[in-house]
Amino acid sequence: MATIAWIGLGHMGGPMSGNLVAAGHEVRGVDPDPACRAAAAARGVRVVDTIAEAVVDADAVFTSLPRGEHVREVLGGAGGVWATAPTTALLLDTSTVDVETSRFCHETSAERGFRFVDSPVSGGIAGATAGTLTFMLGGEDDAVAEAASLVEPMAGHVFMVGGPTMGIAAKLANNLMLFVSLLGLAEGSQLAAELGLDAETFFRVASVSSGDSWPLRTWYPAPGVVATSPANRNFDATFTTVLAEKDLSFALAAGEQAGLHLPAAGIALDQFERLIAEGYGGKDCSLIVKYASADGRVEGFDPDA
């Protein structure tokens, strides 16, 4: 069994690190939020105060952080991973960051004598809790092979997708597809409702027809149709609009650099930005359904609640 340091014990990192504990690994975790620290401790993670304490004699160091700037600071800041961890430790970043940040992490880790694997995940909080996440691993072959073994207790699927930054490339392309699909779900569900179709009946039709998609099966934007839908809980977030805007902006930036034309993704990004401007950045990204409705109101959402 391995000694693992885990930096970032939030909605994803907390249950993921707990699954490593359940598999028999020793996990030391760091997070500034008291509630996250307490939840991780309840899962068996040994919570410590500093990165330096977490990485002592660690075989691997995982990061699970909100944005690229946080990853850069945790790795490269004073008292950070590069300054305090043994160079024998494998570094794995499960965060969704921009391609340039991922490349910086690979190149600077190598310069400092570390092996680094970009290790983003898909499957959300439910997948993190259940240990059924999809991992997309990018890096040098030996490091990726070691990473694949380490992540098994957290994973339903593990893909070794190529060299450095290929994991984050797969994640950004996947999330672009997710959010474009979500846009179609928002519009199709509202058209069905406006034409008089019962929401549950239409869901059953679409889920076995060409309109099927992951967001349809997971986030159908009407209450009482899908148990996991945020519409059952006033669109409280399973995946916040702020995070969706971040991921999609990274994907579009990569597409722009490649000279691609991605108009559908641009429309989805515009709608996420509108939600944030209206003060709904903390609500679920599926709330973009309100822009497809006739009057901006949708069943299951009370803006005053």
CATH number at 210 reads 1.10.1040.10
| Spatial distance between the Cα atoms of 7 and 30, rounded to a whole number of angstroms | 5
Domain end point (choices 163, 182, 205): 163
What residue numbers bound the domain in which 205 lies?
Answer: 170-291
Residue showing tokens 């669109």: 235
CATH number at 119 reads 3.40.50.720
CA 298 to chain centre: 26
Count of structural domains, the chain? 2
| Spatial distance between the Cα atoms of 93 and 63, rounded to a whole number of angstroms | 5
Residue 129's pLDDT is: 95
Strands 133-138 vs 121-122: parallel, antiparallel or unpaired: antiparallel
Q: What is the DSSP letter of 259?
A: T
Domain end point (choices 163, 183, 199): 163
Residues 73-110 have pLDDT tens digits of 999 999 999 999 999 999 999 999 999 999 999 999 99
Taking 90 as the threshold, does the pLDDT of residue 124 lie above it? Answer: no
Catalytic residues: 171
What mean pLDDT is predicted for residues 12-29? 98
Instruction: Assess whether 98 and 215 both reside in one domain.
Output: no
Residue showing tokens 């803006």: 303
Taking 90 as the threshold, does the pLDDT of residue 297 lie above it? Answer: yes
Residues 43-79 have pLDDT tens digits of 999 999 999 999 999 999 999 999 999 999 999 999 9
Q: Considering the domain boundaries, does residue 305 fall inside one?
A: no
Residue 81's pLDDT is: 98
Residues 209-235 have pLDDT tens digits of 999 999 999 999 999 999 999 999 999
Domain end point (choices 105, 132, 163): 163
pTM for this structure?
Answer: 0.93
Taking 90 as the threshold, does the pLDDT of residue 126 lie above it? Answer: no
Instruction: Assess whether 144 and 205 both reside in one domain.
Output: no
| Spatial distance between the Cα atoms of 150 and 172, rounded to a whole number of angstroms | 23
Taking 90 as the threshold, does the pLDDT of residue 125 lie above it? Answer: no
| Spatial distance between the Cα atoms of 162 and 148, rounded to a whole number of angstroms | 13
> For residue 271, which of 234, 296, 237 has the smallest C-alpha distance?
296
